[in-house]
Amino acid sequence: MAQTFRVSDLTGIQVRPARLWTHSLSWILFVAGIALYAHFSILRHRDNPEDRVIPSVTQLVQGIKASVLEPAEEDDPLDPGASLMQQVRHSMIWKDTASSARRFFIALLLLVPAILIGLHMAVFPYAGAFFLRFVLFFDKIVALSLLPILFIVFGIDEWSKIMLMVIGVAPTLMLDSYNIAGGVPKEQIVKAFTLKSSNLDVAYRIVLKQVLPQLINSVRLNLKPLALFLFAGEMIASTDGLAYRIAIMRRHMGMDVIIPYLLWVALLLFTLDALLRFTNRRLHPWYQPH
Amino acid sequence: MRWFASVRDFPSLKRIYPDRRARGWRIGLAAFRCSFLLTFLGCWSALAAAASSPTFTVGWSVYAGWNPYFYMAKSGILKRWADKYGVVIKVQRFDYAASLDAFVGKNIDACTMTNMEALDMPAAAGVDSTVVIVGDYSNGNDAVLARNNVALAQLPGKPILLVQKTVSEYLLERAMVLNGLDNQLPRLKLLNTSDSDIVGAFLGDKSNQVAVTWKPLVSEILDQDRGVKSLFDSSRIPEEILDLLVVRTDVLKRPDGSGLKFAKAIAGAWYETVAQIAAANAQAISGSAAASGDSVASYKEQLRTTYLYSTPQAAAQFAQGKELKQKMDLVRQFCFRHGLLGQNVQSVDDVAVLYPDGAIQGLKDRVRLRVDASYMQLAAQGKL
């Protein structure tokens, strides 16, 4: 059944756009962004063929090649006969991604207890009384301003960066999981007790089980703050990592490497987010937010 | 009973002021119109002024050798010279990195920078630039600091806090080379640390034994920790870390000649300012100290380790001499070795430097940085 498109549909709520429409509409902004970039890049290169502020496609390709195939400047150069796989394994971007990812996942792991604390705050009144006020206060502390203290306490190596991420994101996650877990109807809990549940049963098998998809979504939303804190830490003091490379490249306007790096980070975050979303759907098919 | 009268009590007035609230509204409207008109007039007159005399913007950042730009603008010296040449010169303070970005992005016409950044930022990015003023060189402002009596030979393997790819790394490399430790260079473990946090990170954690930084951070560290000693400083490599005023070449070459006027005006103003500082004029020194919020004592201490070319004669002579070429060669080789000239630059000669005597360091058709001594010379001859 072919529906004819009318202009008034654009402002309609009760319309079902055809598949072709939704697909083509969703790419318009991407195309506009790329076109805008190309326009300014061409403009600047006409004025100055060596412009580095908005690199051209050839510059970008060269930057990508350098970051994917060549070892970082501070590392030893590879033998000329190295295979492609070896080249990639020893490349700048591989090394930076590995060290950033390590920090990222350690921090993510350390955030699991934060979620559980939030759950306990919501379920156990004494835990709530103990934590809530402090967490509310601590949530408002701008974590970046604590950095000098973190340096002193955790040293300048890995742990200060990881703790910056944890301290920056944990209070938000705690409060969010507190709110989510608090939204479980009281009747259910009472009902569980009448069916001879223990306290821990209620906390973990009634409340946690049904709020878990929401908690995973909360983590998904916090991926970006997490990356932000990781970048802040790496830019301030480090010897490797994605943001370290960006900070170094900025010193001589190496936008031909910075832009591929930014896109790579975006892709990584997108993949992680998609992975969590996918897992969520597989684990909790009953959860249908909309 | 009301003790005050209202418009309503005087019906005849009601014609003029139908309501108190309406009256307030009208006054507000009138004020709004006035302010609108004033803004418009203001904009218009500013536009008119801009149209009649070309405007130039100079970016500067906090550093002992550049703080005088702040005083120069504030004291009216700059305005006097700008008026003489019929141009308008604005002076704007930036963070160092941001000032370079703005210069490369062509948002400002002139900028203060070191010889190293002049090569690896504008010149390497294809923005043809001209050195108009050689202001000073770091004569101890940059230093390699270490605690526990660590010596240069012991540096390999220890984490070294510094802002990588800046003059700090250059200084460290020169320190190693001059002490015959070239072969140890690859074994240095550099820890890129932002200048905003390097003091806290170094002082806060005693396991960090080495840091390379600049003043006033050096003084802060040395003052707060008696166990820290300076292993090497830039007074051992005089004339290598130069602080310059760089103007975009296309600005200088503007067909209406306003760029030349601008360069002359700023050179004239600069040497008048520097002469005051060299003569220890209290106002000039406190005005320059205020630029970075330093105390006069602290600023004087920084000036002691900054070799200011206080006369245009000295600056012009150095710019024309052969030492400059030798020092610049060290710097450009460093930039090339560290990839600062760009990922795709195959040879150090791809970013060439033109000197006042016409000599070119690098490929003839790839001149990107020009040292122009003529403005310093004009100042020396009193012809500005």
Whether residues B125 and B248 share a domain: the answer is: yes
Q: Closest chain B residue to A237 measured between Cα atoms?
A: B193
In this prediction, residues B111-118 reach a mean pLDDT of 96
Whether residue A90 lies inside any domain: the answer is no
Q: Do A148 and B204 touch (CB under 8 A)?
A: yes
Phi first, then psi: give them for residue B242, nearest 5 degrees.
-100, 145
A251 DSSP assignment: T
Rounded Cα distance, B240 and A285, in Å: 67
pLDDT more than 70, % of chain B: 87
* Residue B284: how many other CB atoms lie within 10 Å: 22
Residues present in chain B in total: 384
pLDDT of residue A206 exceeding 70, the answer is yes
Q: Do A151 and B197 touch (CB under 8 A)?
A: yes
A156 DSSP assignment: S
Whether residues B263 and B369 share a domain: the answer is: yes
Using left for φ > 0, alpha for ψ between -120 and 50, and beta otherwise, residue B112 falls in beta
Contact residues, A window 139-158, toward B, CB-based 8 Å cutoff = 147-148, 151-152, 155-156
Whether residues B118 and B231 share a domain: the answer is: no
pLDDT of residue B40: 60
Q: Do B125 and A53 touch (CB under 8 A)?
A: yes
pLDDT of residue B327: 96
| Alpha helix segments (H runs only) across A90-208 | 92-123, 125-139, 147-154, 158-182, 186-194, 199-200
Q: Pick the last residue of a domain from B201, B235, B269.
A: B235
Whether residues B114 and B70 share a domain: the answer is: yes
Do A77 and A58 meet the contact criterion of CB atoms below 8 Å apart? no
Do A165 and A222 meet the contact criterion of CB atoms below 8 Å apart? no
Whether residue A22 lies inside any domain: the answer is no
Whether residue A225 lies inside any domain: the answer is yes
Whether residue A10 lies inside any domain: the answer is no
User: Which is higher by pLDDT, B21 or B359?
Assistant: B359
Rounded Cα distance, A31 and B359, in Å: 48
pLDDT of residue B140: 95
Q: For residue A156, give the nearest of B214, B222, B194, B147 by alpha carbon.
A: B194
Whether residues B311 and B373 share a domain: the answer is: yes
Please write the tens of the pLDDT for every residue from B245-273: 999 999 999 999 999 999 999 999 999 99
Got the DSSP string for B170-223? HHHHHHHHHTT-GGGGGG-EEEEE-TTTHHHHHHH-TT--EEEEETTHHHHHHH
Phi first, then psi: give them for residue A251, nearest 5 degrees.
-65, -20
Chain B contact present for A248, CB below 8 A: yes
Q: In sequence order, what are the residues at sequence separation of 6 or more whose Cβ sits closer than 8 angstroms to the Cβ of residue B257?
A: none
Which residues lie across from B245 on neighbouring strands? B112, B133
Residue B322, judged by CB atoms within 10 A of its CB (0-12, 13-18, 19+), counts as: exposed
Q: Pick the last residue of a domain from B215, B235, B255.
A: B235
Pick from B343, B344, B365, B366 the residue to mutate for testing the A interface (most A CBs within 10 Å).
B343
Whether residues B17 and B128 share a domain: the answer is: no
Max CA separation in chain B (angstroms): 100
Question: For B159, what's the count of Cα atoms within 13 Å in the CB-facing half-sphere?
Answer: 19
Whether residue A15 lies inside any domain: the answer is no
Whether residues B133 and B281 share a domain: the answer is: yes
Mean per-residue pLDDT over chain B, rounded: 89
In this prediction, residues B71-97 reach a mean pLDDT of 95
pLDDT of residue B17: 47
Q: Which residue has the tokens 């001589």?
A: A252
In this prediction, residues B184-194 reach a mean pLDDT of 92
The sign of the CA dihedral B296, B301, B305, B309 is positive
Which residues lie across from B136 on neighbouring strands? B243, B308
Please write the tens of the pLDDT for every residue from A216-274: 999 999 999 999 999 999 998 899 999 999 999 988 888 999 999 999 999 999 999 99
pLDDT of residue A3: 64
pLDDT more than 90, % of chain B: 79
Instruction: Enumerate the residues of chain B whose CB falls inside 8 A of the CB of residue A146.
Output: none
- Given the DSSP bridges, would you call strands B228-233 and B142-147 parallel, antiparallel or unpaired? antiparallel
Q: Do A256 and B340 touch (CB under 8 A)?
A: no
pLDDT of residue A84: 87
Whether residues B76 and B219 share a domain: the answer is: no
- Which range marks the domain in which residue B224 is found? 142-235
Rounded Cα distance, A58 and A256, in Å: 9
| Alpha helix segments (H runs only) across B57-213 | 68-74, 77-85, 96-104, 115-118, 167-178, 198-204
Chain A contact present for B121, CB below 8 A: yes
pLDDT of residue A88 exceeding 60, the answer is yes
* Residue A135: how many other CB atoms lie within 10 Å: 21
Q: Pick the last residue of a domain from B191, B206, B235.
A: B235
Chain B contact present for A49, CB below 8 A: yes
- Which range marks the domain in which residue A122 is found? 98-184+215-280
Do A225 and A172 meet the contact criterion of CB atoms below 8 Å apart? yes
User: Would you place residue A50 in the very low, low, confident or very high pLDDT band (cuts 50, 70, 90)?
Assistant: confident
Whether residue A8 lies inside any domain: the answer is no
pLDDT of residue A4: 77
User: Which is higher by pLDDT, B46 or B373?
Assistant: B373
> The pTM is what?
0.84
Do A180 and A210 meet the contact criterion of CB atoms below 8 Å apart? no
Please write the tens of the pLDDT for every residue from B224-247: 999 999 999 999 999 999 999 999
Q: In sequence order, what are the residues at sequence separation of 6 or more whose Cβ sits closer than 8 angstroms to the Cβ of residue A2?
A: none
Instruction: Enumerate the residues of chain A whose CB falls inside 8 A of the CB of residue B207.
Output: 155
Instruction: Enumerate the residues of chain A whose CB falls inside 8 A of the CB of residue B118.
Output: none
Whether residues B115 and B65 share a domain: the answer is: yes
User: Which is higher by pLDDT, B175 or B28?
Assistant: B175
In this prediction, residues B101-124 reach a mean pLDDT of 94
Instruction: Enumerate the residues of chain A whose CB falls inside 8 A of the CB of residue B166.
Output: 251
The structure tokens listed for A95 are: 């090394």
Question: For A225, what's the count of Cα atoms within 13 Å in the CB-facing half-sphere?
Answer: 20
Whether residue A163 lies inside any domain: the answer is yes
Whether residues B274 and B375 share a domain: the answer is: yes
In this prediction, residues B156-175 reach a mean pLDDT of 95
Chain A contact present for B331, CB below 8 A: no
pLDDT of residue A273: 97
Chain B contact present for A96, CB below 8 A: no
Whether residue B2 lies inside any domain: the answer is no
What 3-state class would DSSP assign to A127?
Answer: helix
Please write the tens of the pLDDT for every residue from B310-353: 999 999 999 999 999 999 999 999 999 998 998 778 899 999 99
Whether residues B92 and B205 share a domain: the answer is: no
Whether residues B261 and B362 share a domain: the answer is: yes
Q: Closest chain A residue to B104 measured between Cα atoms?
A: A53
pLDDT of residue B47 exceeding 70, the answer is no
Q: Do A239 and B192 touch (CB under 8 A)?
A: yes
A77 DSSP assignment: P
pLDDT of residue B46 exceeding 60, the answer is no
Tell me the shortest Cα–Cα distance from A238 to chain B, in angstroms. 5
Chain A contact present for B97, CB below 8 A: yes
CATH number at B81 reads: 3.40.190.10
Mean per-residue pLDDT over chain A, rounded: 92
Chain B contact present for A238, CB below 8 A: yes
Q: For residue B354, give the nearest of B366, B369, B341 by alpha carbon.
A: B369
Rounded Cα distance, A56 and A60, in Å: 6
Contact residues, B window 139-198, toward A, CB-based 8 Å cutoff = 159, 161, 164-166, 186, 189-194, 196-197
Max CA separation in chain A (angstroms): 78
pLDDT of residue B374: 96
What 3-state class would DSSP assign to B265?
Answer: helix
How many domains does chain B contain in total?
3
Whether residue A209 lies inside any domain: the answer is no
How many domains does chain A contain in total?
1
ipTM of the predicted structure?
0.82
What 3-state class would DSSP assign to B260?
Answer: helix
Rounded Cα distance, B156 and B173, in Å: 12
Q: Which residue has the tokens 């004087």?
A: B300
Q: In sequence order, what are the residues at sequence separation of 6 or more whose Cβ sits closer than 8 angstroms to the Cβ of residue B49?
A: B88
